[in-house]
Structure 1
Amino acid sequence: MAVTTVAQFAEQLKRPTAALIEQLASAGVPKKSADDALTEADKERLLEFLRSAHGTAGTQRKKITLTRKSTSEIKQADASGKARTIQVEVRKKRVFVKRDEAATVEEQTAAEAAQEEALRQREAEAEREAESLRRQEEALAEERRQREAREQPPPEPRERRRRHEGTNPSIERH
């Protein structure tokens, strides 16, 4: 791993070396010259100090905005055949939002509870429909029995049947 000096770090941050040494001293990092080596722990300590000084200590950023700008040139011929160079600049801006873990867990539990409630409601509705269908089937079966009973010829008395058969009830056959 390459060793970073205070001067190199100041160059990366585009800040004067003296200002960086001053910030390091106020953060509690004992660096006196631009040639002193900086460790990752020193950088973290400086970062925490700066965050607390600016009032953002302990809170993480919830939104990060990335902006990107790219320029390109397009050569195009006009009507007379003369080539022209057109500069095109494209700017893109993208925002990433970090979701809260606690809010996500609460949303999941709320969603699960809503799903369970919907399932219970569907089950109750299915039971009501099944009961309704059962009652309709019973009513249809009863109606069918009554219709069949009406359509059956009434039973004839015994004497009439015997007369039709050609037998006399007083004479018995052996």
Structure 2
Amino acid sequence: MAYLAKEERRETIFKAVLDVVAQKGFGGITARGVAAELGAATGIIHHHFDSLTELKCSSLLYAAQQDLEANDLLVAQYPIGEALIRVLDWRKVPNSTSISRIWISAADEATRSAEFDTVYGKAVNDFHAQLSGYIRDGLKSGALKSKMDPDVLAWKLVALSASLSDFLASDHIAVTGDQVSQIILQELHACLGIQI
């Protein structure tokens, strides 16, 4: 592995961890497996992280931050209605199956580790706060219309999006991607008056 500055090296490690998680879940993470994904010795993992739990937690925080930044870019690029569709319909995101598998595995890992549960809770709460903020801004500008409390509505939309995306990660659940998109569109129309 070529020389990289410390933060670049950590980012490279996070990406390798997330690639492994997409295949094996957080429960399948080992220093050896991540090092193999990097094409490096396991010492690189031990040099940057004191424990496997720290590696997992830091990687989830990295993934969550990437998602939040991507959402902000969508909101800056598209009208709020179109942006919310893209934020909530993970099918519209490249590698959405991998992203969904990462978040399914994160929820599972949170049941096994109190430290990871804290990080997972922060990640979900941050997404909720971001979505609630988008809704508040849309209501304030008049682009969105709703009588529901934005915080409650944001939780409803987070739950809907996450559940449907989780279903799509399985090859054995009959719901299709087009049906998921249709459900999300209908809910955004019903709750916020979004017309697309």
Higher strand content, 1 or 2: 1
Higher helix content, 1 or 2: 2
Is TM > 0.5 for Structure 1 vs Structure 2? no
- Bigger RCO (CA 8 Å, 6+ sep): 2
Query: TM-score, with normalisation over the residues of structure 1?
Result: 0.18
